């Protein structure tokens, strides 16, 4: 077994060395000088309407107002996978909150006052809020020009409808398989839109210099993607647009892609030479940025008398909101992963992203997987019950295993989901009926499993640079973002391990700055430990190679006989050693100091998967649909108060196959945080009235889990089945930890009170009324 000095160890987190933190951009305006202006957005009060006229004259008369911009000033569109979103709505608005204008003023208060004076004449149109209603032939058409939008080659919109993406998966003969099934479950499941609710709301500052140079400061998961998309949409040369992104105060997918940042840049163009700050209020954050999409799922699944899964037919209808530039890839990811973590020989899957007149659906932790697992994992429990099989044994029998050909035709990479199932079952004493804490409470246990692949284009790249200071301390430069998940710590550990230097010699440069930081596609998809990690490892190995070649020449030895340990070059042959200090910058002298050799050591590394193939648009079949899957299991032990319907989570046990835990403590903290996040999402919902107006855009009415709600015990286990191309076998774990929490809770509630719930959220009132109804 390999010996590690940094990787696989619990080490102190890397300090973030930066002059400007996320909180500083949020709160301290002094860094931008006395010329800082402030922006506010004018938003639509209608869910769907034509814009007949915009009059900004009264707003411009307000003292302190410097500019007002509208869609006429910026006729382009923006989007990641589907370019469907106008900078500012120009001809029509598509949700309550759709920006139609931006006001720039010397203070936020003046900008707010002026924004109220912008007069917009609307012609209200019929709106549609449910994806099943939106796909009907007579539904209001939200994007009549869908057929003309620029779109990624693997996304398949249906022009003339509200369907922005339709992913098809076909395997085997589903219709013939139903007759062979001893048991069949067929259900409809629903989830509402929910919010990311980062504690730090979205904020951006932009300056457009008269020279054409543009700088954007923003709390972002995607500085390079933002540079690319904003440059394309506003006609800025990429080299002229610089994005600086400090430490992020909460992301969860909500700060991926482009949200409000393009508005800040657009408003800055109107007041060249002055930075413009745009900050979302908490109310705006709820509905004016992005949200997790809603979903209606039709699930039909069957097995034989022995519990072997034979057939599945699923249809997923994602309510993508007004613009689906990111949401289309969520529907695609749900499509190619539609079976969940199960081997099923006959599958028919259809996954749709559908335009609705609601806030913009986009990436959120789990990227479509929490949504589809909500129904899948309850259906599997029901199927096991129908044939009289224990839910744990049912999953052990049917879960995906290494080497199987899964639904897309891809060979399943190395995983051990059975080990994850066994660990969580043991952790909650599965099979043992335990007493509730009071006579009016009922206790139950539930289990659910999951899989998730990094959902991304086939060629997302990572790069890294490793350079030394004179004392041999190391600077690692990356473009991946620190969200609190420990990306910088992992980068430092990987660099230290690959170089052979102590961990505390390594620093990670920040903030991320597209002008100086090496390229990173985005900090999304739980891909950073794997993708960035490979780039950092390659950069460190490149630096190490240079050092060993230099010293080998100096000692007249073979580089193969040399190594670096604890910051010293050592020779296994001659047993000599030499400190890295000095030589990594100044090089080494020739004999009698007749010249020098070497010089500053700079290691460069990159990584990009090259093996992901296209999938047939009619069948979803292909050689390699994704780079890999991470799998895991969760078990929940809870109590239901029969007098109130209140649920108390006693214990959540989780286990995930992470390939190799670069930092076990960070993995376990992800498991803990994800369990609470997943638990919270079970009880959350954005609510709207019949006109599409938000009813709960505040923490008063939209309640998230707090410290008071945390389960009495959160148990975490790590399984390590090395990934073929991960750094030391590592794969990502950040999102997976909340994917199956909601169905595990629902299965436990059923175990406690005998009632199934097909629609989220699981409010105490809903549970109480269901118990009452069951008794009647």
pLDDT (average), residues 413-436: 97
Q: Is residue 304 part of a domain?
A: yes
Residue 763 confidence (pLDDT) above 70: yes
Say yes or no: 339 and 383 in one domain.
yes
pLDDT at res. 395: 98
Domain boundary residue among 607, 638, 657? 607
pLDDT at res. 19: 33
Say yes or no: 207 and 64 in one domain.
yes
Q: Is residue 157 part of a domain?
A: no
pLDDT (average), residues 503-507: 97
Question: Whole-angstrom Cα distance, residue 773 to residue 753?
Answer: 12
Say yes or no: 582 and 683 in one domain.
no
| Strands across the sheet containing 294-303 | 163-171, 346-355, 309-321, 294-303, 183-191
pLDDT at res. 471: 98
Say yes or no: 440 and 507 in one domain.
no
Q: Do 36 and 203 meet the contact criterion of CB atoms below 8 Å apart?
A: no
Give the pLDDT confidence of 722-740 residue by residue, as tens digits.
999 999 999 999 999 999 9
Residue 21 confidence (pLDDT) above 70: no
Question: Whole-angstrom Cα distance, residue 247 to residue 301?
Answer: 45
Report residue 223's pLDDT band, with 50, 70 and 90 as the boundaries: very high
Give the pLDDT confidence of 601-645 residue by residue, as tens digits.
999 999 999 999 999 999 999 999 999 999 999 999 999 999 999
What secondary structure letter does DSSP report for 530?
A: I
Question: Whole-angstrom Cα distance, residue 246 to residue 748?
Answer: 41
DSSP E strands in 342-425: the ranges are: 346-355
- Cα Dmax for the chain: 99
DSSP E strands in 720-770: the ranges are: none
- Of 423, 353, 435, 461, whose CA–CA distance to 635 is shortest? 423
Residue 674 confidence (pLDDT) above 80: yes
Domain boundary residue among 607, 623, 639? 607
Q: Is residue 8 part of a domain?
A: no
pLDDT at res. 25: 52
Give the pLDDT confidence of 100-149 residue by residue, as tens digits.
999 999 999 999 999 999 999 999 999 999 999 999 999 999 999 999 99
Say yes or no: 376 and 506 in one domain.
no
Q: Average per-residue pLDDT in the chain?
A: 96
pLDDT at res. 15: 58
Give percent of the chain above pLDDT 90: 95
Residue 24 confidence (pLDDT) above 70: no
Q: Would you list the DSSP string of 387-417?
A: TT--HHHHHHHHB--TT-B-TTSPBP-S--H
CATH number at 521 reads: 3.30.365.10
Give the pLDDT confidence of 664-673 residue by residue, as tens digits.
999 999 999 9
Give the pLDDT confidence of 526-552 residue by residue, as tens digits.
999 999 999 999 999 999 999 999 999
Say yes or no: 542 and 438 in one domain.
no
pLDDT (average), residues 13-27: 48
Q: Is residue 235 part of a domain?
A: yes
Burial class (CB in 10 A: 0-12, 13-18, 19+), 560: exposed
Q: Is residue 524 part of a domain?
A: yes
Give percent of the chain above pLDDT 70: 98
Whose structure tokens read 């099934």? 181
Q: Would you list the DSSP string of 234-252?
A: HT--GGGEEEEE---S--T
Q: Is residue 764 part of a domain?
A: yes
Q: Is residue 260 part of a domain?
A: yes
pLDDT (average), residues 364-393: 98
Say yes or no: 751 and 703 in one domain.
yes
Give the H/E segment covering residue 395: helix 391-398
Give the pLDDT confidence of 226-266 residue by residue, as tens digits.
999 999 999 999 999 999 999 899 999 999 999 999 999 99
pLDDT at res. 2: 58
Give the H/E segment covering residue 641: strand 630-641
Q: Is residue 153 part of a domain?
A: no
- Cα separation values, 421 from 394, 426, 450, 741, Å: 11, 9, 10, 14
Q: Which parts of 31-80 fold into alpha helices (H)?
A: 57-60
Say yes or no: 556 and 657 in one domain.
no
CATH number at 69 reads: 3.90.1170.50
pLDDT at res. 18: 41
81-92 exposure pattern, b = at least 16 Cβ within 10 A, e = fewer = bbbbbbbbbbeb
Whose structure tokens read 């995983």? 415
Domain boundary residue among 551, 575, 607? 607
- The residue range of the domain holding 230 is 37-125+202-279
Say yes or no: 335 and 467 in one domain.
no
pLDDT at res. 664: 98
Say yes or no: 618 and 703 in one domain.
yes
The domain tally of the chain equals 3
Say yes or no: 425 and 475 in one domain.
no
pLDDT at res. 30: 82
pLDDT at res. 23: 43
Say yes or no: 474 and 438 in one domain.
no
């Amino acid at each position: 077994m390999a010996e590690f000095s940094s990787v696989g160890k619990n080490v102190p987190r890397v300090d973030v060395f930066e002059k400007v933190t996320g909180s500083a951009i949020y709160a301290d305006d002094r860094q931008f000088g006395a010329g800082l202006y402030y922006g506010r957005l004018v938003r639509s009060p209608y869910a769907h309407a034509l814009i007949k006229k915009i009059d900004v004259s009264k707003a411009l008369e307000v003292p302190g107002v410097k500019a007002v911009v509208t869609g006429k000033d910026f006729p382009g569109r923006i989007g990641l996978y589907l370019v469907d979103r106008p900078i500012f709505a120009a001809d029509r608005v598509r949700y309550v909150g759709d920006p139609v204008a931006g006001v720039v003023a010397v203070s936020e208060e003046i900008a707010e006052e002026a924004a109220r004076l912008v007069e917009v004449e609307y012609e209200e149109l019929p709106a549609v809020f449910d994806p099943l209603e939106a796909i009907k032939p007579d539904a209001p058409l939200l994007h009549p020009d869908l057929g003309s939008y620029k779109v990624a080659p693997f996304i398949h919109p249906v022009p003339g409808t509200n369907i922005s993406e339709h992913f098809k998966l076909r395997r085997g003969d589903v219709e013939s398989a139903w007759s062979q099934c001893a048991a069949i479950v067929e259900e409809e499941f629903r989830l509402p839109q929910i919010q990311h609710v980062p504690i730090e709301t979205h904020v951006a500052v932009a300056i457009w210099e008269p020279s054409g140079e543009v700088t954007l400061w923003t709390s972002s998961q995607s500085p390079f993607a933002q540079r690319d998309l904003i440059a394309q949409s506003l006609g800025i040369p990429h080299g002229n647009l610089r994005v600086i992104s400090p430490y992020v105060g909460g992301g969860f997918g909500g700060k991926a892609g482009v949200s409000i940042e393009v508005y800040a840049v657009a408003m800055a163009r109107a007041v060249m030479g002055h930075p413009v700050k745009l900050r979302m209020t908490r109310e705006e954050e709820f509905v004016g940025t992005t949200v997790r999409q809603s979903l209606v799922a039709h699930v039909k699944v069957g097995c034989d008398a022995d519990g072997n899964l034979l057939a599945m037919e699923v249809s997923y209808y994602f309510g993508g909101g007004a613009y689906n530039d990111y949401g289309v890839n969520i529907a695609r990811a749900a499509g190619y992963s539609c079976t969940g973590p199960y081997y099923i020989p006959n599958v028919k899957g259809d996954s749709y992203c559908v335009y609705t007149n609601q806030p913009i659906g986009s990436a959120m932790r789990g990227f479509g997987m929490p949504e589809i697992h909500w129904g899948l994992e309850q259906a599997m429990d029901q199927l096991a019950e129908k044939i009289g099989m224990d839910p744990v044994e049912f999953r052990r029998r049917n879960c995906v295993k290494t080497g199987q050909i899964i639904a897309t035709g891809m060979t399943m990479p190395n995983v051990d989901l059975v080990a994850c199932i066994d660990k969580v079952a043991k952790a909650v004493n599965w099979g043992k009926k335990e007493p509730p804490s009071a006579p009016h409470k009922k206790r139950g246990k539930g289990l659910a499993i999951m899989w998730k692949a990094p959902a991304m284009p086939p060629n997302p790249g990572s790069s890294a640079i490793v350079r030394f200071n004179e004392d041999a301390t190391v600077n690692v430069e990356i473009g991946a973002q620190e969200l609190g998940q420990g990306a910088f710590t992992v980068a430092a550990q990987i660099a230290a391990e690959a170089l052979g230097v102590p961990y505390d010699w390594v620093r990670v440069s920040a903030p991320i700055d597209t002008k100086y930081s090496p390229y990173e596609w985005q900090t999304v998809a739980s891909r950073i430990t794997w993708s960035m990690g490979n780039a950092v490892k390659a950069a460190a190995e490149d630096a190490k190679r240079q050092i060993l070649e230099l010293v080998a020449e100096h000692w007249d030895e073979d580089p193969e006989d040399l190594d670096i340990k604890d910051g010293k070059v050592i020779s296994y042959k001659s047993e000599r050693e030499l400190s890295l200090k000095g030589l990594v910058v100044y090089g080494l002298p020739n004999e009698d100091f007749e010249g020098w050799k070497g010089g500053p050591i700079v290691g460069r590394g990159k990584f990009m998967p090259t093996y992901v193939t296209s999938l047939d648009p009619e069948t979803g079949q292909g050689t390699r649909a994704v780079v890999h899957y991470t799998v895991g299991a969760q078990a929940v032990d809870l109590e239901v108060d029969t007098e109130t319907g209140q649920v108390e989570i006693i214990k959540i046990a989780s286990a995930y196959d992470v390939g190799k835990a670069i930092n076990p403590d960070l993995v376990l903290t992800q498991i803990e945080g994800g369990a609470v996040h997943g638990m919270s999402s079970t009880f959350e919902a954005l609510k709207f009235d019949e006109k599409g107006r938000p009813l709960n855009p505040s923490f008063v009415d939209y309640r998230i889990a707090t410290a008071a709600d945390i389960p009495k015990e959160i148990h975490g286990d790590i399984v390590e089945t090395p990934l073929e191309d991960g750094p030391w076998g590592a794969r990502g774990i950040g999102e997976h930890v909340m994917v199956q929490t909601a169905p595990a809770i629902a299965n436990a509630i059923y175990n406690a009170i005998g009632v199934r719930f097909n629609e989220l959220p699981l409010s105490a009132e809903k549970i109480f009324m269901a118990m009452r109804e069951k008794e009647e």
